[in-house]
Amino acid sequence: MTADRKPEKDEKTGRFLTGNSGGGRPKGSRNKLGEAFIEDMLADWEANGPAAIREVRETKPDAYLKVVASILPKDLNVNINQTDHLTDEQLVERIRSLDAAIRPFLDAEGAGGIGGGAGSKTAH
């Protein structure tokens, strides 16, 4: 190494020293590459995306399912009990509303609802 050049590495640790301007990619080049790639992918997707999906689904269903699974959320919160947030009074009202809605069907079948009716099998 000549006397006018600054050392690139620390002699003890072997690490590169800060301020080394001797190499590396130009600033912003990676971003430009990434942006260009994304623009090209978008253009290709807009032109061929639906046809590509169809072809993969028909010729490689396993790959198609992997893609579908990969875009689903990792944790899927499915609330199948939509009454958790209701008060007791709201639950009673919901039951009465459902009873009123199905009552004509039960009466038409002769079930008579809870407690029996003409078609009930409960003993009186």
| 3-state DSSP assignment of residue 91 | helix
Which pTM value belongs to this model? 0.36
Type of residue numbered 110: G
Strand ranges for 1-124 from DSSP E: none
Output the six-digit token pair for 110. 């002769």
**Which run of H or E residues covers position 40?**
helix 29-59
pLDDT for 73-116, tens place per residue?
Answer: 887 777 677 777 889 999 999 999 999 998 888 887 765 555 55
Helix ranges (DSSP H) in 60-87:
61-71
**Domain boundaries, given as residue ranges, for the chain:** 27-73, 83-113
Rounded Cα distance, 56 and 63, in Å? 7
